[in-house]
Structures are given as structure tokens and as C-alpha cells.
Structure 1
Amino acid sequence: MGVYVPEDPGAESELARNGKLAFGYGTFFFKGQSMGTGRCNTKQYNARLRDLITEGIATPGSLVSHELELDQAAEGYEHFDKRHDGWTKVVLHP
């Protein structure tokens, strides 16, 4: 799973800043490749993932980089949005 970003003002290239990607379409065509896009059907996986977590089989905590109080949400989002080093996933505690 990834993150769809229609625009990224902080990207290195003009294309990426506008949510575009340059690639060799001719080679892509001649090799007979295909590309699929779309959203992940997260509802299909939620219950099973929850069960794996509660049973201790899956440990998503290893993905969490920061845990903040709810009143620090804006600060945390700013770090995450600006892609500061080490800010991958943030858990907010009410």
C-alpha cells in the first residue's frame, strides 16, 4: 500500500510537484506491460488485521515513529507532511 499524493510542493522535480510522473511509454508499450491503479479495499482486511494484532501475531508498533498527545497533533502532522527524517507513523493519544 502506498500514499496517493496529487501534488507535492516539496518534490524535487516540477512534474512531481504537480503530481505527474515521467516514464518511457514507448518501452512500456513494446514490452507489453500493463499498469493498474486504484484504492485498496481496506474494509476487506480490517477485521483480520485487528485480530492478528490483538492475538499478538502482527506488531504494527514497529511502524510507529512517534506517539504524541492529541494537543500536539498539528505539530506532528507538520513534521509528517514535510517528510522530516524519522516521521513515518504517528499515534495520537487523547
Structure 2
Amino acid sequence: MAEPAVVVEVVHAGMQGVLRCRVSLPAGSTAMQAVEASGLLQQLPVEARDPLRLGIFSRRVDADQVLRDGDRVEIYRSLALDPMAARRRRAGKP
């Protein structure tokens, strides 16, 4: 009997557009294994790879998070501006 599989989508929304790849993995696979299987790491800029920030459906997860069928693994990029600095700037405070 074949080992059960999970099918997940791996996505990264960068400045140049969205990269996405659907992968099929053995049950019990992790978020990092999905990212590695997708091949998207080689297409990302260096700053998006280290440290790798991952999420599933907009919820931050660790790289060893076990996946369920239909999950969307998201590779997050660094923030362009610190949220606290942006609030201070909007409020007109130094």
C-alpha cells in the first residue's frame, strides 16, 4: 500500500512578484521540507533565505511544523520599515 501523501502550496510574495509551487510530500513532512522540495529557495534573494521566516495561512510557524493536506506554506520577507518607526513617523514624533 502506498504511503499517504499531503499536497501543499509553497508561496513567497516578493518585490518582483509572487512565486508559488505545489508539492506532494509524504505524510508527516515539515514546513521546511516543503520549502526545500519546492525549489523556491534558489529563486529567492539572499536576505529572504536567512533567517527563514515561515507561516501557514498567515500564522507564523517553526520550520519543523508538521503539515496537513492543503496547507499553504508562506515564506515571509523582511519588513521594509519597522512598524514602530512607521507609527512614530505618522504621528510626527522623532
> TM-score surpassing 0.5?
no
Identify the structure with bigger relative contact order (alpha carbons < 8 Å, sequence gap 6+): 2
- TM (norm. structure 2) is 0.23
Larger radius of gyration: 1
- Hey, which of these two has a bigger chunk of strand by percent? 2
